[in-house]
Structure 1
Amino acid sequence: MSSPSYYAPTGGLPPQTRLLTDRAVFTDAYAVIPKGTFSDIVTSLLPFWEKSRFWVIARPLSGFAETFSQYIAEVGPGGGSDRPETEPEAEAVLFVVEGRLSLTVEGTAHEMSEGGYAYIPPGAEWTLRNTGSGVVRFHWLRKRYQRVDGLDAPEVLVLNERDIAPTEMPDTGGVWATTRFVDPGDLRHDMHVTIVTFQPGGVIPFAETHVMEHGLYVLEGKAVYRLNQDWVEVEAGDFMWLRAFCPQACYAGGPGPFRYLLYKDVNRHVPLTLGGG
């Protein structure tokens, strides 16, 4: 089996000769943000980050997806932050797609490279630095942790995809598998970030329709995805953003694997107030 690859945007601007026709779309049920929209002019700067910029690809929106934000971070050599998070109840997942970084959480240092995953609990003190000579790029997913009386918050996790065997989905012959960084039975976690892999020709053979919100960033390959009533083509570098109950299915197009980083909210009662209470 070939080693996994991880698409990362590099910015820049398209030439003035380029046609305006693109695949970007925002509907009341889903959005597709194609890789061609990750230009210099849509990056954001954040407080207390040095030599860093961020593509914000998801944020809570009333009436759409309301549980999470997702950034793609680009940090230059020597850059990073000693105060990366300004919301004390925010938990985080980091996933490295290019380069190497040094992450310190509650005084313990961790070196992370491509395929690296970190879960950072709410309220944890952490810092991040690019100690190498090249740019590092990583996904940063943030969610306000939903505390439950009688359940402690999860502990820090720092792992790498290459060290985790994917779990084959039932009755698929291995063409559909999920790499899980967290035990699905651990109810302390209120979000999961996983990697879903389809071999060429693999399918989601029904329209999934469920309460979980999704962010799907395509790391590798291409596919045709069914979103609500539409079929859309997606490829490495594209992002799909789905509100709750948006029907979804796909065909993996080949010639290699189709893989995406997947966010979903899990393991909590639905708040019985509008806007999540």
Structure 2
Amino acid sequence: MSTSYYAPQGGHPGQDRLLTDRAVFTEAYAVLPRGTMRDIVTSALPFWKGTRLWVLARPLSGFAETFSQYIMEVQPGGGSARPESDPAAEAVLFVVEGTASLSVDGATHEMTPGGYAYLPPASDWTLFNRSTDTLRFHWIRKAYEPVDGLAAPDVLILNEKDIAPTPMPGTDGKWATTRFVDPADLRHDMHVTIVTFEPGAVIPFMETHVMEHGLYVLEGKAVYRLNRDWVEVEAGDFMWLRAFCPQACYAGGPGRFRYLLYKDVNRHMALRR
């Protein structure tokens, strides 16, 4: 089955458009519809050339606590030899359009759509767009939480096309997760996966758990239950779910519903700041 990944293109709505949208921001969750990702809300970063980005989440009182997430847009010839300014930050990159030339620890990798990279803290990496097409990718950042006796994780360069999704038990494959990291590898303190629902599939109970979530819809549409509300979401929308926010989902079709999912894992709950 063919795979597609939605990425924002920017632009602005015309003056003849009505002010209607699905944006929601509450104490338990937020929904940033794709229509909010316009030219006027892009940002820039030091030491990045030919690049703009949409910030989907950042550590903030009443919002994301454990991670930040960007959609990066890099023009041909753009990129950075100094992409990360925080040596304690780990990263996941996920390519949705174009080709990224990623160099890390002396090796260069050409990452195409579906490409995934895990970069541990203090990695020596650079990223450039050496193609003639615009490059768009997700960049998820987290302050790595070291544990005495556990080494930092290794660099991983993968592509989801080469990974068989793991079906949820009892779902006949209608609900499955593409995992880039072994869940038993406790060196990792975050997981970024791709969740796929076939038309008609559901999360048939209200998940309520300690993991904070960022969900970016790569493909399709669905109705999501967030806390007390049902919200409609589609490709290009981003959802933030606070830890313990009740959540469920119904993927009505007609096509698959897929999203890129972040969650924090495998660490004690901090008892003091």
TM-score between the two structures when normalised by the length of structure 2? 0.99
Checking the alignment, whether the CA contact within 8 Å between 1:97 and 1:139 is kept in structure 2 is yes
Partner of 1:92: 91
Name the aligned partner's letter for residue 81 of structure 1.
S
1:59 equivalent in alignment to 2:67: no
**Cα distance in 1 for residues equivalent to 2:64 and 2:211:** 9
Deviations 1:47-70 (A, max 9, x none): 000000010000011243200000
Deviations 1:94-140 (A, max 9, x none): 00000001000111111100000000000011000000001000000
Deviations 1:186-205 (A, max 9, x none): 00000000000000000000
Deviation, structure 1 residue 173: 1.0
Partner of 2:197: 198
**Cα distance in 2 for residues equivalent to 1:134 and 1:241:** 30
Partner of 1:77: 76
**Cα distance in 1 for residues equivalent to 2:80 and 2:180:** 25
Partner of 1:207: 206
Partner of 2:184: 185
For the aligned residues, what is the CA RMSD? 0.6
Checking the alignment, whether the CA contact within 8 Å between 1:94 and 1:117 is kept in structure 2 is yes
Aligned sequence identity (%): 77
Partner of 2:257: 258
1:155 equivalent in alignment to 2:172: no
1:26 equivalent in alignment to 2:25: yes
What secondary structure is seen at the aligned counterpart in 2 of 1:158?
strand
Deviation, structure 1 residue 21: 1.3
Checking the alignment, whether the CA contact within 8 Å between 1:31 and 1:242 is kept in structure 2 is yes
Checking the alignment, whether the CA contact within 8 Å between 1:65 and 1:244 is kept in structure 2 is no
Partner of 1:271: 270
What secondary structure is seen at the aligned counterpart in 2 of 1:80?
strand
What secondary structure is seen at the aligned counterpart in 1 of 2:12?
coil
Deviation, structure 1 residue 3: 1.3
Name the aligned partner's letter for residue 44 of structure 2.
L
**Which of structure 1's runs of 4+ aligned residues deviate more than 6 A?**
none
Name the aligned partner's letter for residue 94 of structure 1.
L
Partner of 2:234: 235
TM-score between the two structures when normalised by the length of structure 1? 0.98
Partner of 1:106: 105
**Cα distance in 2 for residues equivalent to 1:226 and 1:65:** 19
Name the aligned partner's letter for residue 170 of structure 2.
D
What secondary structure is seen at the aligned counterpart in 2 of 1:152?
coil
- For these two proteins, the number of residue pairs brought into alignment is 273
What secondary structure is seen at the aligned counterpart in 1 of 2:93?
strand
**Cα distance in 1 for residues equivalent to 2:58 and 2:241:** 12
Deviation, structure 1 residue 149: 0.2
Deviation, structure 1 residue 161: 0.4
Name stretches of at least 5 consecutive residues in structure 1 with no aligned partner.
none
Deviations 1:137-185 (A, max 9, x none): 0000000000000000001000000000000001111100000000000
Partner of 2:34: 35
What secondary structure is seen at the aligned counterpart in 2 of 1:36?
helix
Name stretches of at least 5 consecutive residues in structure 2 with no aligned partner.
none
Name the aligned partner's letter for residue 236 of structure 2.
G
Deviations 1:227-263 (A, max 9, x none): 0000000000000011100000000021111000000
Partner of 1:44: 43
Q: How does 1:141-152 map to 2 (within 5 A)?
A: 141-152=140-151
**Cα distance in 2 for residues equivalent to 1:16 and 1:150:** 59
